[in-house]
Amino acid sequence: MTDLIDQAQHFEAINLAQSLQAQLRRAETQARPAARGHCLNRECLEPFAEAEPARLYCGPACAEAHHRQMALAKYRSVR
Ligand SMILES: [Zn+2]
């Protein structure tokens, strides 16, 4: 019995991971988000200097976090 539940949860996790990955891939192929003068990672929001009006993120970690946030927001809105 426990095995069945474990398996079901395992497949559920795979499903979720796969749809998140698909969302991430889609987000990556979409146009660059507009620069807003601060880091687009919602958990960071570090302001940038005016000399860097096109800057989107502090670094790759923030870019990745923001891609995840966008993918998650879309995933939730689809559900
Ligand atoms: Zn940042």
Return d(Cα 79, Cα 77) in angstroms, integer: 5
* CB neighbours of residue 66 within 10 Å: 20
For the entire predicted model, the pTM comes to: 0.57
Residue 9 alpha carbon to ligand 1 centre in Å: 34
Residue 3 alpha carbon to ligand 1 centre in Å: 42
Residue 47 alpha carbon to ligand 1 centre in Å: 9
Q: Please tell me the predicted confidence (pLDDT) of residue 77.
A: 86
Question: pLDDT category, 29, cuts 50, 70, 90?
Answer: low
Return d(Cα 11, Cα 33) in angstroms, integer: 33
Cβ within 8 Å of residue 40, ≥6 positions away = 33, 56, 57, 62, 66
Residue 49 alpha carbon to ligand 1 centre in Å: 13
77 touches 30 (CB < 8 A): no
